[in-house]
């Protein structure tokens, strides 16, 4: 019998997850189905919606905007990284009827940069732009990789400071508003804001980019994002990446949690990108 999985959100029609998991299943010869399902909790509560998926026999689901906090609050048990992120994007429906909530966003980004970008975080100076939910999900796994320093910059410096102080670590974590980012080159620069979706840039000086910097935008599209273009104009030799690999990477981690098999992400990223460019 084919095992059933899904991603839920509102909206959901744009989701690449069904294609990604179909490619993973083909690659690893797993018998499963994966759907994108619109859930509008104006009609029913989130808990009722999840109970319905369990009753229908689903083995697990992914959760996307705007339900990651609802998923965090509804899970019966949480993994350490879900607790750290204060958000859940993956549910495992256990045989005893309980739900385990996990967050695979952070490890998706880490693996994309380290494996596909060929850049290790260890001993690197890292600049993170933004302090919202996306950044909350990546900080724990990033700290585990032992960078030299982490600086979090945000529109409101207080929010960045509060986020940084949630973590007990020997790694120096500093915080500031946009205008007070320490003037130096950073080895890895991560844009965790959604500015690129609107064709905008965080108000950051290009002086933070060195010629050996890796500049990463969590957003992605058919073309390089405005943040990636800005980085190349400032420093033509820098390396840039968008967030498509993070999307595929977090899906691969969820797939591994469900199936016990870890798929290769690079060929799937290439296939999804080619499909995006054709559409």
**If we measure between CA atoms, which residue out of 56, 48, 95 comes closest to residue 74?**
48
Question: Which tokens belong to 64?
Answer: 């996307």
- 3 state DSSP class of 92: strand
Residue pair 106/138 in contact by the 8 Å Cβ criterion: yes
Helices (H), the chain: 17-28, 46-55, 68-74, 80-85, 105-111, 133-144, 157-164, 226-234, 244-259, 266-278
Active site (catalytic) residues: 68
Q: How far apart are CA 208 and CA 229, in angstroms?
A: 15
Query: Other CB atoms closer than 10 Å to residue 266's CB: what's the count?
Result: 12
Helices (H), 60-156: 68-74, 80-85, 105-111, 133-144
Q: How far apart are CA 199 and CA 138, in angstroms?
A: 23
Q: How far apart are CA 100 and CA 121, in angstroms?
A: 29
């Amino acid at each position: 019998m084919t095992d059933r999985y899904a991603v839920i959100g509102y909206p959901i029609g744009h989701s690449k997850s069904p294609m990604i998991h179909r490619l993973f299943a083909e690659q690893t010869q797993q018998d499963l189905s994966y759907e994108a399902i619109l859930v509008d909790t104006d009609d029913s509560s989130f808990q009722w919606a999840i109970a319905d998926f369990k009753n229908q026999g689903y083995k697990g689901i992914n959760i996307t905007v705007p339900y990651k906090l609802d998923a965090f609050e509804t899970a019966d048990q949480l993994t350490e990284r879900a607790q750290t992120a204060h958000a859940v994007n993956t549910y495992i429906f256990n045989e005893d009827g309980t739900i385990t909530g996990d967050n695979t966003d952070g490890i998706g980004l880490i693996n994309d940069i380290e494996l596909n970008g060929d850049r290790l975080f260890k001993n690197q100076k890292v600049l993170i732009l933004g302090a919202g939910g996306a950044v909350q999900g990546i900080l724990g796994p990033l700290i585990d990789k032992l960078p030299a320093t982490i600086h979090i910059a945000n529109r409101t410096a207080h929010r960045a400071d509060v986020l940084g102080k949630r973590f007990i670590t020997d790694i120096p974590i500093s915080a500031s508003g946009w205008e007070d980012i320490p003037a130096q080159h950073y080895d890895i620069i991560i844009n965790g804001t959604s500015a690129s979706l609107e064709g905008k840039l965080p108000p950051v000086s290009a002086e933070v980019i060195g010629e050996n910097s890796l500049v990463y935008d969590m957003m992605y599209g058919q073309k390089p994002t405005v943040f990636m273009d800005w980085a190349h104009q400032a420093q033509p030799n820098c390396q840039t990446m968008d967030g498509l690999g993070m999307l595929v990477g977090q899906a691969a981690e969820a797939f591994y949690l469900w199936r016990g098999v870890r798929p290769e992400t690079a060929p799937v990223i290439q296939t999804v990108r080619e499909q995006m460019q054709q559409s």
